[in-house]
Chains A and B, each alone.
Chain A
Amino acid sequence: QVKEWTVDAAAAYDIISSGINAEYGGLRCDGRRPQEMRKLKSELGVSEGPDGSAIVEQGYTKVLVSVFGPHECVNRNLRDHEKAIIRCSYNLASFGSGVRKKKMVSDKKSTEVGVMIQNTFEAAVMLDKFPKSQIDIYVQVLQGDGGERCVAINATTLALINAGIPMKDYVCACAATVYQDSVLLDINHLEESSRGPLFMLAVMPRTESIVQLQLDHRLHNDHLDKVVKETIQGCRNIQVLLDRQVKEWTVEAAAAYDIKPRV
């Protein structure tokens, strides 16, 4: 029998609050400490068809991103003579959440997330190097357990690097919430369902510039500084792990394709 997936907000809050009590050792419902992030696994070049592809898993959330481009912009109305355009399509697989998604047509939420990802990467990708071109990003959420938007952004960064599309820096995203004055990083689905604020940041870690900020529900002003500081640290942690994976892939590929450095 399928367990009830969508939890009532109050019930979720109770579950979370019961977890972070001192009696339970100050741990969250999945056994993590407040600022502990989920286990991150990533892989580049998973599909042969697209120019670039990547899968990123954070905890049980798994997202596959395929990137095509830059290629000729087919739609004359959208073609820009000075820079490339980015088109992003975000899709949650029908098997990707607890309850099977019946509607196969893209809904408002998916379109909105797609536009958000497009805006994020318009700031990071060096678009003026490819006038009249188009870059297509296809995001497919294979498993959604909270933080799908963040994992999608992380996976898109890897896919763009895999495709060889120049970017100013990595774009890493992390979501956080606040419970009883402590910041919880990298929230899962259960924590998202509660009434607490849902704060997402996408940053370029080396330059520490914020590319995207999203807030759902209400966040008290007193908590803002703390949340921003912790989330940026979370993004930095993600960048270190992603960079490790990218360097491993680059070394292998450079050896295989005979690309020698010259210093």
Chain B
Amino acid sequence: AVVSTQSTGSGGSMEVVRAPHKRTRVIASQDEDLEKHIVTPGDVITQNLDFMKSHGTTLGNGHISSTVAGAIHKVDKLVSVRSVSSRYRGEVGDIVVGRITEVQQKKWKVDCGSRLDCQLQLSSVYLPGNVLRRKNLNDELMMREYFSEGDLICAEVAEVGNLDGMLKIHMRTHEKYGKLPEGLLIKVPSVLIKRSKLHFHRLPCNATVILGSNGFVWVGPHFIPEQPIEAISMTLRETIARLGNVIRALAAYGVQLFDTIILTGYDISLKYKVKELLKPEVMEHIAQESYEHSQHQTL
């Protein structure tokens, strides 16, 4: 249910309570057989114990059963269940946006929305001035000068821990990775961010969008790491806020995010005021039209 109180001056209409807006999926199911292959925890997948069990399955009493709600995936002799919702599971090479939670000895702990906090080693960070050198004791003591708790950073996944799945992240080149300046952070389901060559987009409307594979999306001004940014003007703030709301609208309706669809959504949203973009009907309209537009373009 959405409750909003708006009064548009004297004699204007007063909107006090709005009826609940049922969120309908923009992308409907096209596969009639989908239901047959959906399993829930405890459902028996197969009695055939020849299969090797992978993610999302467990060995029961003479059968393999599912442990999550999702779709069955059988490849040769390997059976797994692809869960419909889960936390971000990193892969080597992913670009992630994260927030520093702790400063420890020779490393930082970063929250990327995964099961465990990521590790950022001091040795894998460029020092100011684009220098990558062996860090000495002085650098260790100065760690908080580089990144401290609460800072947003952009980095790349270097390693995935074998036993616990903890990610080790690093900053490979100086131009794109590093501490992010003032901007907007939006958390979307990580499954909506496609893995592609480019995650760092400089949009023509003077804003930059970084689509972290972990579902953390950063919107802000154009910047070069380590260089101070000039004061952000009112129009640029509006642009950033508008882009943020468009991304929220697309994510709310389950639309995959990439730069062209965000720009399409931005163009469609121009006829509304920035704050109107938070209304459910407007969000649905933007998501619907952007999705249809992107489908037409691919055809």
Q: Which residues of A contact B (CB under 8 A)?
A: 51-52, 69-72, 126, 130-133, 161-170, 204-207, 243, 246-247, 249-263
Measured CA separation A163–B69 after assembly (Å): 10
Is there an interface contact between A259 and B87, defined as CB atoms closer than 8 Å?
no
Measured CA separation A258–B56 after assembly (Å): 18
What would 7 more interface pairs be, CB under 8 Å, given A126-B58, A259-B84? A132-B164, A164-B69, A166-B67, A168-B65, A207-B42, A252-B29, A259-B82
> Which of B27, B42, B70, B86 gathers the greatest number of chain A CB atoms within 10 Å?
B42
Q: Which residues of B contact A (CB under 8 A)?
A: 25-31, 33-35, 37-38, 40-42, 44, 56, 58, 60-61, 65, 67-75, 82-87, 101, 109, 111, 115-117, 163-164, 189, 191-192, 254, 256
A71-B115, A168-B67, A207-B60 known; A255-B192 Cβ under 8 A: no
Top 7 nearest A-B pairs (CB, nearest first) are A169-B42, A261-B37, A255-B29, A166-B67, A164-B86, A256-B254, A261-B71
Q: When the two chains form the complex, which single residue of B33, B38, B41, B256 contacts A169, counting CB atoms closer than 8 Å? A: B41
Measured CA separation A256–B79 after assembly (Å): 23
Measured CA separation A204–B61 after assembly (Å): 14
Residues from chain A with Cβ under 8 Å of B67 in the complex = 126, 166-168
Residues from chain A with Cβ under 8 Å of B191 in the complex = 257, 259
Is there an interface contact between B83 and A164, defined as CB atoms closer than 8 Å?
yes
Residues from chain B with Cβ under 8 Å of A169 in the complex = 41-42, 65
A161-B40, A170-B41 known; A251-B115 Cβ under 8 A: no
B86 to chain A, nearest CB (A): 4
Is there an interface contact between A70 and B84, defined as CB atoms closer than 8 Å?
no
B62 to chain A, nearest CB (A): 12
Measured CA separation A184–B40 after assembly (Å): 30
A72-B111, A258-B256 known; A251-B34 Cβ under 8 A: yes
> Which of B38, B70, B189, B192 gathers the greatest number of chain A CB atoms within 10 Å?
B38
